[in-house]
Structure 1
Amino acid sequence: MTSSQTSTPEPPASSTHAGGSGGPRRADEAERAGGRVVLDGVTWRPYGRREPVLRDVTLTLEPGERVLLAGPSGAGKSTLLRAMAGLLETADAGELSGSVTLDGHAPGTRAGEVGLVLQEPGAGIVASTVGRDVAFGLENVALPRADMEPAIRAALAAVGLDKPLDTPTSALSGGETQRLALAGALALTPSVLLLDEPTAMLDPGHAAQVRASVEGALAAYPVTTVVVEHLIGPWVGLVDRMLVLDDDGRLVADGPVREVLAAERQRLLDMGIWVPGEPNPTPLTTVKNSPNWTDAATGSGKNSPNWTVEGEQSVAASALTIERTTRLVDGSTRTQPAAVLGEPLSPAAATSTALVGPSGSGKSTVLLAFAGALTPAQGEVRAGDRPVADLTSRELAAALGWVPQWSSSTIVASTVLDEVLVASRALGEDGDERVAEARALLAVLGLDELEGADPRELSGGEQRRLAIAAAILHRPPLLLLDEPTVGQDRHTWAAVVGLLRDYREAGGAIVVSTHDAALIERAQTVVELAPPPRPPEPPATQRLLAARAGPLALLAGAVLAIPAGIIPDHWSVSLTVLAVQFVLAVVALTAVGRGKRPSGRVRRVLFRMCPGALGALSVGWSTWLLGGNDLTTAITAALRVLIIVFPSAVLLPLVDPDRLGDHLAQRLRLPARPVVAVAAALQRVHTFGQVWTEIGLARRVRGVDGWRPVPLVRHLAVVTFGLLVRTLRLAADLAVAMDARGFATAARRTWFAVAPWRWPDTLVVLASLLPIAVAVVAPALLTRP
């Protein structure tokens, strides 16, 4: 797709190659109008849920139809999309009955025939850079390398993502990540295109651009398309047919979109669907009038002091400039402004402040700074007379509540009810009254029947409401919310907005990042953020000598350290080998060329050596203890461990997972599927630090970490377990995203990047053989009289 400022966007350049055929389309396929999808009695009950999410869904989508799928929050819309894509059992466990076919065969059995944009697109990132991520699907359909870059650039331009192809995917905002996911799906020009709330996180301008991009693609190549959106009005002109699921996951309406809207108007409103032309619902009067809330507390009635916000709001910011530094694989860094708050912001009690601006303007970044998660490059955020980042975890929880952009990142408990009570229990408020209040909040937000469910299994809209309940139960004086109404139907929207209104009227201060016009209208203060100015291209950064080598050479250098560590049988030889490795490491980390010299090289190697040093001490101690207190043997054993791990600490961080996959497949001719899977897994390993930080922040903001020995050990254990659970969830979503772009059924692959072997690769391998040679020769030299 190519961008156009004066006309409807043209179809992607890739529209001449994919079409779900597993390769370039033949001439007789050029006029194909999408795929025919048939569902017969599809029922799905995830394990852990008592009731099915989908119930006996039967329908047929004709080739080229444009379908809008609507329903209340939690109705199973995202689940139905996965069923149509043939991916329902890829990552989820449950009971499935009925059948789904695409053009007479199981969907997803032909590479590239189904394009799916997930509800949380960040979970579907499969590569470390923007260009490689869009290229992933094109590789799976075996598009020739020469045709890939034009197709990639056209798809990115179509969704308005004006980023260099080497931009790290980790540096994108939530809205930018959503556009990247859409670009990856559009680039394939599939037979069936499934879009799960593709504009939910976008500002109106970019949302209109995405809809125009989809419309242009469908006009040129009318694939069968299903769009899930809560705000259905903007899509009515783009679709032909409307499907409606009810709360029980049943298909209750099906027909031409305008006929369904006219004939079922009141029924749709009663279900909570956003019917075009209808005014916003009246926000509900929530817990301050709830008998369950007041009776559980003091029974004092409507104005119960138990709903009064506790403490005074004291968090305020001066004018801020917040930067993000992204470390690239070659050891260089890229620092860019992430948000600019031009004026001081002091949220007052009983007021609401809306942060507005286009996607990528830094709204979420400002909220993170208020939560003490980011340190501004200029200006500061203070809580009274202290930087907010200096508050203890309990002090921070008492001062504010936080609802992030992706609510799944805050989940730290195993049940919905326990998740709501996390902060209250951390602050010592875990009595029966507070439990009853938590249940009242869940009832207001439509989650009362799910209080025993695993919060990770809730829908996106349900998780967002759960995060709001968890942030508000302990009544902090400041509430930070990032897009709180995304993914909500009319009923749940009214509950959320009513709850926020009651919280504000009770004396709370609200800072909300939103594109929701109704929320903006209700705010007393509106702060408009503009995208930070793009800095000039950074000056060239000196490259490390080792970074000039390819991933296979770097991996070989780490592996060759194993025999170098095993061969020596005396500590003197081991020490000599280690000294040689040290000299080689100094050379490898030397930065040459024009530009800024990279910093922190030695510090990062020392940090990565910490586990190896602990392992060496442990091995040395156990060898000394079990080897008759022989110090020589113990030192030799410890040095062997250091010899083996030291090159890995220097070289492996320089391995680009994407390039490693390229080289393993193209240079070593290994099978594509395991190679790509390993590369994608390694790409996820590089995000472990970010996931750890997210979980740690979620616990810190909710008062459940600490630095005393027992709480610290408990915190580390829980965060580690949370990292494991979250990683498994991310791995499951990654599997869905990869298979949605043809990975599971790719008969053959092409590769976007070349995989050359250059002279630096040879030098690295030869240098890595030197410690082995020293280990062999040194004993004779050291024992020579």
Structure 2
Amino acid sequence: MASREIGAGGGDGAGLTRARTTGGHVTLTGVTWRPFGRREPVLRDVSVSLLPGERVLLVGPSGSGKSTLLRAIAGLLETADAGELKGSVTIDGHIPGSRAGEVGLVLQEPGAGVVASSVGRDVAFGLENLGMPRAAMPADVTTALAAVGLDKSHDTPTSALSGGETQRLALAGALALQPSVLLLDEPTAMLDPGHAAQVRASVKGALTAYPITSVVVEHVLGPWVDLVDRMLVLDDDGRLVADGPVRHVLEQERQRLLDMGIWVPGAPSPSPVMPAALRAGTPGQRASSQDIEATALTIDRTVRLVDGSTRTRTAAALESGLSPQPGSATSLVGPSGSGKSTVLLGLAGALTPATGEVLAKDRPVADLSTSELAAHVGWVPQWSSSTIIGRTVLDEVLVASRALGQETPERVVEAHALLTSLGLAHLEGADPRELSGGEQRRLAIASAILHRPPLLLADEPTVGQDRHTWAAVVGLLDAYRDAGGAVVVSTHDAALIERSDDVVELSPPTQAPAVDQPRRVLAANAGPLALLLGALVAIPAGIIPGHWRTSVVVLAVQVVLAVVALWAGRGPGPRPRGRLKRVALRMVPGLIGALSVGWSTWLLGGNDLTTAFTAALRVLIIVLPSAVLLPLVDPDRLGDHLAQRLRMPARPVVALAAALQRVHTFGEVWSEISLARRVRGLGVDTRRPVALVKHLATVTFGLLVRTLRMAADLAVAMDARGFASASRRTWFAAAPWRWPDTLVVLGALVPIAVALLAGP
């Protein structure tokens, strides 16, 4: 039986100890799951019992329901997904998820599970749900980070991590829980061989330290065979068709597993299957005069800090340039975090190099119109779920062809054939967002290739594929190359690298010598409650004045206070730059609102300019403090203060902090959606106002859809770390009220006093 002592202590974490964990007994009885919108179940009548401490390898073809089965074991199948569930799942006789920290789950797309703005807070999230003493958390966080080889300080922004680093962060968060059941969904899929071996060693060490019941989903079985005891096999229909000791199953069911597409250790890579859909195609003929090439370059990425300032680091360095030739395949290789994905984004014109340039026949690729870019480049992103546009699978494949005016009957037939070759024909009418990770990746490749651009940029195209789908994907890439297209992939797949004509090895870029961190502005020393209160008291300050002269005085006082709030404090670092510019940009909506209110007041108030001007100034008075103070609010610290100082319930507080943390990523999401549309011919000519408004509305709707999906994934990630069953939480950081908080509140009250003293 699982054993864990859950603390009921408060934020100081007094009097709590954590017992060592033993493995949980997992029982599934007749589990069947059919997502809404799908005619057939993903899982069918799965019944199995996992004994305490067993180490299980769950395998099956792409789309066989492996990830779905992990969510069922974690008790999270209905947390974010809608569908029909039959059967039952128990852990030690009770419903999974009813005990905080009992199950640790690493999602297939770990970036979706980031719950905090810093590395330390993210790993500590599960420990907070367990009620661990605050003083004990940093040591456990450090141990978990070291176990997965993530050499980052606790205050490193999670937004600054690469895809592979984010995957290790997710594993660290799960290991920190010391769960009785550990579920890993392709934990090494996006990692280079060195880091993948390190992660496996971390898992082995955790399982050796105490007998956790563990289930690992992986397509490449060989490296895991010595770490597991038992193998479960799902077939294409989501049925459990084999179960037994891992070596016995591999020996007795070898041919059956190969026929199903399982990567049986020792079996040679399958022969690529060349699809008929592209044999007659000639990528590159229409646009060969504008081949894309890159000189030696570096690409910087900017991370926004909590005080609104930014920090720039070199994310990728291409030392020898790159000139993809028609009929060639180039592999970008290197350890996780070396900038492979960043280079691909640079080649697609999504990122402007800090040094060097990416050209399409002497023109910066970023200057190409959306139709020109779509005609020249096909792009497969690292996380294929992030750029889905179509309502159905078939719509998704045809997006670029439609945008370029190429949706002929022959092209539609080719789309059907392409989906058939990739094993997606039976899903043509399905919502692409409901596909498995491997299916979405194949769909992204089909979408990027169908309209035959001369250059294909594919980020980890073979991740999450079984032998059959791997053969289909590689065959498609070979056919594209043989037809005259140029292929550039980032990959850790040794078999794919061997098939390349050229291999470009990237190393983690050398960073410029560290410079002192910019000094904090004075207001950034205050806590989030004081900052919020300082913004809120501006409301009465704007309402009290009865004449524009008084409003001008109040607004002038606010401007002076804003300058003081944004004044750089003492310290060795340089002064932060762009403070006033950022405030001015945030005031633009307020200015528009003030003009609107002033105009409507003038129009409805008998054309009285005095009244209209007073009304407009009131809006500015209310908005200005928010533009100055609210960007300084750290979502994680806000949660700490709301829970510890105001004694608000933990669940809404944590949900609010996590949601606000996601708000900071909206700019990146907007950029991803915009790039996905631009590279597929759906960008916009900013010189046409109607088209611009339509484009903004479409991207905004896409952002809303993505936000809802992110919220669903976030709910799964939070509940996977004990949030749903946490009765009382502790907190990783304290929430003191200090003298800067008092000064901010007193300063915010000054405009009210001025308004009262100045009179009407």
Q: TM-score, normalization: structure 1?
A: 0.93
* Distance across 1 between alignment mates of 2:276 and 2:692: 35
Q: What CA distance in whole angstroms lies between the structure 2 residues aligned with 1:455 and 1:606?
A: 41
Is it true that 1:546 corresponds to 2:526 in the alignment? no
Correspondence 1:663 to 2:641: yes
1:637 aligned partner, one-letter code: A
Which residue number corresponds to residue 484 of structure 1? Answer: 461
CA distance in 2 between partners of 1:139 and 1:304 (Å): 59
Q: 1:73 to 1:527 in 2, by over 3 A?
A: same
Q: Where does the alignment leave 5 or more consecutive residues of structure 2 unmatched?
A: 10-14
Q: How many Å apart are 1:306 and its aligned residue? A: 6.0
Change (3 A) 1:45 1:222: same
Q: Measured at CA, do residues 714 and 21 of structure 1 come closer, stay the same or move farther in structure 2, by a change above 3 Å? A: farther
1:521 positional shift: 0.3
How far is 1:75 from its partner?
A: 0.6
Partner amino acid, structure 2, of 1:491: H
Q: What does residue 11 of structure 1 align with? A: none
Relative to structure 2, which stretch is displaced further, 329-338 or 374-383?
A: 329-338
Structure 1 residues 281 and 19 mapped into 2: Cα distance closer, same or farther (>3 Å)?
farther
Q: Encode CA deviations 1:375-421: one digit per residue, 9 max, x unaligned.
A: 11111111111111111111111111100100111111211111111
Give the whole-Å Cα distance in 2 for the aligned partners of 1:645 and 1:29: 48
Q: Could you tell me which residue of structure 2 aligns to residue 132 of structure 1?
A: 121
In 1, the alpha carbon distance for the partners of 2:661 and 2:600 equals 35
Partner of 1:181: 170
Aligned pairs for 1:433-448 within 5 A: 433-448=410-425
Q: Which residue of 2 aligns with 1:5?
A: none
Paired with 2:297 and 2:438, the residues of 1 have a C-alpha distance of 31
The equivalent position to 1:597 in structure 2, one of 569, 575, 590, is 575
Q: Does the Cα contact within 8 Å between 2:43 and 2:65 map onto a contact in 1?
A: yes
Give yes or no for the alignment of 1:256 onto 2:272: no
1:218 maps to 207
SS at match of 1:199: coil
SS at match of 1:539: coil
Q: Which amino acid aligns with 2:338?
A: S
Q: CA deviation at 1:549?
A: 0.8
CA distance in structure 2 between the aligned counterparts of 1:608 and 1:413, rounded to whole angstroms = 33
Q: What's the offset of the Cα at 1:755? A: 1.2
Letter in 1 for 2:135: A
**Separation in structure 1 between the aligned mates of residue 665 and residue 460 of structure 2, nearest angstrom:** 24
Match of 1:398 in 2: 375
> Structure 1 regions of 5+ residues with no counterpart?
1-17, 294-302, 781-785
The corresponding residue for 2:263 is: 274
2:747 aligned residue: 767
**CA contact under 8 A between 1:22 and 1:140: conserved in structure 2?**
no
Q: What displacement does 1:635 show? A: 1.9
Once residues 83 and 237 of structure 2 are traced to their aligned partners in structure 1, the CA distance between those partners, rounded to angstroms, is: 17
Deviations 1:185-204 (A, max 9, x none): 00111010000000000000
Partner of 2:443: 466
- Say whether residues 1:493 and 2:477 are aligned partners: no
The amino acid that maps onto 1:647 is P
Q: Is the 8 A contact 1:309 1:506 kept in 2?
A: no
Contact 2:111–2:163, Cα closer than 8 Å, also in 1: yes
- 2:257 aligned with 1:287: no
**Alpha-carbon distance, 1:430 to partner:** 1.5
Q: Does 1:526 align with 2:510?
A: no
**Alpha-carbon distance between aligned partners in 1 of 2:517 and 2:588, rounded to the nearest angstrom:** 31
1:543 counterpart SS class: coil
Which secondary structure does the structure 2 equivalent of 1:343 belong to?
coil
Residue identity matched to 1:245:
L
Residue 721 of structure 2 is aligned to residue 741 of structure 1: yes
Is 1:729 aligned to 2:709, yes or no? yes
Change over 3 Å in CA distance of 1:32–1:308 after alignment to 2: closer
SS at match of 2:759: helix
Q: 1:308 to 1:679 in 2, by over 3 A?
A: closer
- Number of matched pairs: 750
1:705–1:712 Cα contact (<8 Å) kept? no
Once the two structures are superposed, the pairs formed by residues 641-660 of structure 1 within 5 Å of their partners are 641-660=619-638
Structure 2 residue 618 is matched with structure 1 residue 618: no
Deviation, structure 1 residue 608: 1.2
Residue in 1 aligned with 2:144? Answer: 155
Equivalent of 1:103, from 69, 81, 92?
A: 92
Q: CA deviation at 1:23?
A: 4.1
Opposite residue 553 of structure 1, the aligned amino acid is: A
Please tell me whether the aligned partners of residues 287 and 499 of structure 1 are also in contact (alpha carbons under 8 angstroms): no
- For residues 670 and 225 of structure 1, the distance between their equivalents in structure 2, rounded to whole angstroms, comes to 36
Matched, 1:457 2:437: no
Cα distance in 1 between the residues matched to 2:309 and 2:586? 17
CA contact (8 A) 1:393 1:701 kept: yes
> Does residue 352 in structure 1 map to residue 329 in structure 2?
yes
Name the CA shift for 1:697/1:29 in 2 (closer, same or farther; >3 Å): closer
Deviations 1:591-631, CA, capped at 9 Å, x for gaps: 13231121111111111112222222222222222222222
Please tell me the residue identity of whatever aligns with 1:768.
A
The answer to whether the Cα contact below 8 Å between 2:370 and 2:678 also exists between their aligned partners in 1 is yes
Report if aligned partners of 2:373, 2:679 keep a CA contact under 8 Å in 1.
Answer: yes
Seen in structure 2, the aligned counterparts of structure 1 residues 115 and 31 have a Cα distance that, compared at 3 Å, is closer
Partner of residue 66, structure 2: 77
The secondary structure found in structure 1 opposite 2:31 is strand
Offset at residue 759 of structure 1 (A): 1.1
Q: Summarize the Cα distance change of 1:397–1:144 in structure 2 as closer, same or farther, 3 Å threshold.
A: same
Matched, 1:369 2:346: yes
Cα separation, 2, equivalents of 1:19 and 1:384: 66
Given that residues 4 and 18 in structure 2 are in contact (C-alpha distance below 8 angstroms), is that contact kept between their aligned partners in structure 1? no
Deviation at 1:24, TM superposition (A): 9.9
Matched AA of 1:668: L
Match of residue 12 from structure 2 = none
CA distance in 2, matches of 1:20, 1:486: 36
